[in-house]
Amino acid sequence: MRRMENKRVNFVQAINDGIMEEMEKDSSIILYGQNMALTDDDPFVKKFGKDRVRFTPISETAEAGMAIGASMTGLKVIVDLVMTDFMLVAMEQLLNQAPRMRFSTGGQVKLNVVFKAGFGFIYGWSTTHSNTWYELFMRAFGSKLVIPSTPYDAKGLIKSAIHDGNPVFYLTPFNLYAMEEDIPVKEYYIPLGKADIKREGNDVTVIAIGWMIQKALGVADKLAKEGISVEVIDPRTLIPLDKKTIFSSLEKTGRLVIVDQAPKTGSAASEISAVVAEEAFHLLKAPIKRVCSLDTSVAYSKPLEEYTIPDEMKIIKAIQEVLHV
């Protein structure tokens, strides 16, 4: 059997490779944002020129509005808004205009726009850089919401997002940017709306989002030594949500813990809990547990920051509670 050729990349390189591959094939794709194309030596500028790759002023509202307008002319747009915290100033464009354009025009206008940003910078940056905010975009009806957790997924998902035909919020966990992984050199795509089982198990299902996947996998390794088998599911896209994979796992385990970096109230974990309670309650052997950030602001203080965010001990405690051990 011929061995597949791989290369080792980190999270950011994987995303850039995916964008680069698509821009090479499709001249209608443009890329712009605040922290890119700063010099003529930028690899995207060197390869595609300043007509397709641009540095923009610090105005998220303008960036989002330009993306909508450019896409209406037939271009496929990737706009890097850097942080979800910064997206807050452009919410009229992001929540009320882009996702609803197809609805508002009776299907005459379709937007190919990827709104790209990081979230949850947990290094003592507090209220202006440490929030998640992805939960807000679960109400951006008419759009899709992607949150990758590995370099492999990050590349495959961005390549699909660029051509989706809908506004896609492609949001990435800052705490995974240095994560490295061997990924195929051969081109691949990952469809939006398809969850991935990161680890199979039989006793309890853990759904984790973004950075929390790594914590859930760490917990699964530890509990395996105690004879507890944890199945870890990565939704990869919160809109659409792959309910089929979740329900299939619950048919096996009957127990569910959801790990979410966002504060519990109004979180993705809350929505997933509600979906399971409404549509798959008969599969549950125990109440659902949510392991989320506390309903408060993230502090500058490192001990307080760590106290706020979900950690492995909190996940283990939740699993023990649903298993009654």
**Rg over CA atoms, the chain:** 20
DSSP 80: E
Element (H, E) at 314: helix 312-323
Which residues fall within 8 angstroms of residue 161, CB to CB, at 6 or more apart?
114, 144, 146, 168, 170, 192
CB distance 127 to 297 below 8 Å? yes
Q: Which residue has the tokens 């203080």?
A: 301
279: its two tokens = 């549509």
C-alpha to C-alpha distance for 164 and 237, rounded to whole angstroms: 13
Q: Catalytic residues, which ones? A: 129
225: its two tokens = 């030594």
What does DSSP say about strands 230-234 and 204-208: parallel, antiparallel, or unpaired?
A: parallel
C-alpha to C-alpha distance for 213 and 232, rounded to whole angstroms: 8
165: its two tokens = 């035909």
CB distance 62 to 34 below 8 Å? no
CB distance 64 to 96 below 8 Å? no
Q: Which of 198, 201, 207 is nearest to 152 (CA)?
A: 198
